[in-house]
């Protein structure tokens, strides 16, 4: 046999996600490239690793055995690399995080200097929806999770990172009457929502219910970026985190519409399970956050003060 570590990595991801398409997205590879590597890997075995029933990909029992073996091999490769770095006196290991989708505008700034200071650390950051973030934390798949709404059913420790402010946003091309009431604003224009379970959507729906508004037309999209593009295109208005629209505000492509009761204020928290035995890398990262958090907020996020409406 002549399989490569790259093929093992790809097959393990396919086995985890039960999908070539999802595996290619997770690995940032094209779908044809993943399919070719899977075929080349399969050709080295006389027993099928996968099977397709209908349009669904399944991993055979033999394939699952190979996936478990691949995981062990890859873990040993990581261990060799980390031990080499540790012998040289460098902090080494993997730091794994799961981040809600709007957190992609926040988390990289709290990681950049730490990663530069510790070149022996590999970073894994999964940007996904809130349900998956909580699931990955609960299943002990990650060290930390970044959330703006704290889970109620888990026992966890937390570090407060920074404020998350949500405003009513419209395209700058939308001309609003000066005497337009809050009720008219929400009921006249199509409102663009995030998907069910999104913390942003929950905050928006709570605000609408609290004020007794009735929304005449809804548009539902599955990512913050998609909502932003829809607002830019003039499809409707939305309630969005300020953190994700900096450039659009600066370029005057979007406008913040003053609404009494807004912004909605939440807090970004980095959380981890109380039962989690944190690795030296994870502990070092917590030390870094505690010492550098204020500096990072001041240097990277002070721009937000220019847009905060009283």
The pair of three-digit structure tokens given for residue 161, joined into one six-digit string: 């990172």
pLDDT at residue 297 in the model: 93
CB contact at 8 A, 184 and 211: no
Which residue is listed with tokens 């039962």? 275
**Domain parsing of the chain, residue ranges:** 5-84, 91-162+267-306, 163-266
Domains 91-162+267-306 and 163-266 share a fold: yes
Fold of 5-84: Arc Repressor Mutant, subunit A (1.10.10)
Contacting residues for 180 by C-beta, under 8 A, at least 6 apart? 188
What's the confidence (pLDDT) of residue 309?
47
Q: How many CB atoms lie within 10 A of CB 115?
A: 14
Q: Which fold has domain 163-266?
A: D-Maltodextrin-Binding Protein; domain 2 (3.40.190)
Q: Indicate yes or no: pTM above 0.75.
A: no
Q: Report the pLDDT value the prediction gives residue 310, as an integer from 0 to 100.
A: 42
Residue-wise pLDDT tens for the chain (310 aa)? 788 999 999 999 999 899 999 899 888 899 999 999 999 999 999 999 999 888 889 999 999 999 999 988 887 787 777 666 655 666 778 899 999 988 999 999 999 999 998 888 889 999 988 888 999 999 889 999 999 989 988 999 999 999 999 999 999 988 877 666 777 788 788 899 988 888 888 888 898 888 888 887 789 998 889 999 999 999 999 999 999 999 999 899 999 988 888 899 889 999 999 999 888 889 989 999 999 999 999 999 988 766 654 4
Residue 252 to residue 184: CA distance in whole angstroms: 24
**Superfamily (CATH) of domain 91-162+267-306:** Periplasmic binding protein-like II (3.40.190.10)
63-102 per-residue burial string, b: 16 or more CB within 10 A, e: under 16: beebbeebeeeeeeeeeeebeebeeeeebbbebbbbbbbb
């Amino acid at each position: 046999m002549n399989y490569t570590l790259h093929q093992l990595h790809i097959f393990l991801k396919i086995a985890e996600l039960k999908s070539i398409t999802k595996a290619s997205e997770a690995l940032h590879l094209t779908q044809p490239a993943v399919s070719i590597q899977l075929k080349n890997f399969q050709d080295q075995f006389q027993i099928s690793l996968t099977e397709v029933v209908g349009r669904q990909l399944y991993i055979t029992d033999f394939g699952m055995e190979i996936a478990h073996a691949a995981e062990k091999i890859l873990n040993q490769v990581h261990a060799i690399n980390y031990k080499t770095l540790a012998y040289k006196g460098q902090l080494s290991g993997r730091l794994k995080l799961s981040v809600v989708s709007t957190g992609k505008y926040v988390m990289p700034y709290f990681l950049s200097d730490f990663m530069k200071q510790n070149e022996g650390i590999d970073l894994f950051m999964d940007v996904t929806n809130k349900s998956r973030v909580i699931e990955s934390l609960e299943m002990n798949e990650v060290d930390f999770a970044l959330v703006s709404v704290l889970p109620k059913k888990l026992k966890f420790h937390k570090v407060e990172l920074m404020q998350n402010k949500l405003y009513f946003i419209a395209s700058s091309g939308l001309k609003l009457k000066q005497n337009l009431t809050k009720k008219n604003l929400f009921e006249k224009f199509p409102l663009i929502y995030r998907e069910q379970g999104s913390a942003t959507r929950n905050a928006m729906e709570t605000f609408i219910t609290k004020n007794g508004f009735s929304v005449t037309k809804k548009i539902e999209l599955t990512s913050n970026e998609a909502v932003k593009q829809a607002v830019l295109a003039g499809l409707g208005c939305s309630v969005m985190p300020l953190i994700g629209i900096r450039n659009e505000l600066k370029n005057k492509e979007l406008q913040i519409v003053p609404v009494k009761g807004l912004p909605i204020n939440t807090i970004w928290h980095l959380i981890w399970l109380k039962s989690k035995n944190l690795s030296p890398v994870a502990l070092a990262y917590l030390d870094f956050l505690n010492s550098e958090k204020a500096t990072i907020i001041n240097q990277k996020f002070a721009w937000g003060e220019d847009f905060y409406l009283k």
